[in-house]
Amino acid sequence: MKSLGKKLVLIILFLQPCLAVENADYLPFLKSSQLEFGDMLEFPRCGIYSHYAVYVDNVPIQGKKDGEDIFEMTSTTCLFIHEILTRDFSKYGTYPSGCRFHKLTGNYNKRNYLDREDLLPQNWQDIRDTIEYLINGECGKWSPTNNCEHIATYVRYGEANAQSWYRCWTNMHIFQPLKKHKDAETTQRKPLKTNILKNLHQSELATAA
pLDDT tens-digit profile of 103-120?
A: 998 889 998 988 877 788
Tens digits of per-residue pLDDT, 70-92?
A: 999 876 555 555 555 555 545 44
What is the DSSP code (8-state) at residue 30? S
> Within 10 A of 70 (CB to CB), how many other CB atoms are there?
24
Contact predicate 162/142, CB 8 Å: no
Q: What percent of the chain has pLDDT over 90?
A: 25
Q: What is the pLDDT of residue 49?
A: 72
Q: What is the mean pLDDT of residues 26-46?
A: 75
On whether the pTM is more than 0.85, the answer is no
Name the H helices within 26-136: 76-86, 124-133
pLDDT-derived band of residue 157, with 50, 70 and 90 as boundaries? very high
Name the H helices within 40-173: 76-86, 124-133, 148-157, 164-169
pLDDT-derived band of residue 59, with 50, 70 and 90 as boundaries? very high
Residue 127 lies in a domain: yes
The Cα-based distances of 130 to 2, 54, 167 in angstroms read: 45, 12, 27
Q: What is the pLDDT of residue 137?
A: 74
Residue 5 lies in a domain: no
Q: Which of 49-63, 116-130, 160-174, 181-195 shows the lowest mean pLDDT across its residues? A: 181-195
Rounded to a whole number of angstroms, the CA Rg of the chain reads: 18
CB burial class (10 A; 0-12, 13-18, 19+) of residue 10?
Answer: exposed
CA–CA gap between residue 194 and residue 192 (Å, rounded) = 7
Q: How many domains does the chain have?
A: 1
Q: What is the pLDDT of residue 78?
A: 53
Residue 71 lies in a domain: yes
Residue 158 lies in a domain: yes
Q: 191 pLDDT exceeds 70?
A: no
CA–CA gap between residue 143 and residue 147 (Å, rounded) = 9
Q: Which helix (H) or strand (E) holds 100?
A: strand 98-102
Residue 122 lies in a domain: yes
> What residues make up the domain containing 80?
18-208
Q: What is the pLDDT of residue 135?
A: 86
Residue 10 lies in a domain: no
Name the H helices within the chain: 2-25, 76-86, 124-133, 148-157, 164-169, 196-208
Residue 141 lies in a domain: yes
Name the H helices within 26-123: 76-86
pLDDT-derived band of residue 201, with 50, 70 and 90 as boundaries? very low
Residue 126 lies in a domain: yes
Contact predicate 65/101, CB 8 Å: yes
Q: 159 pLDDT exceeds 60?
A: yes
CB burial class (10 A; 0-12, 13-18, 19+) of residue 42?
Answer: buried
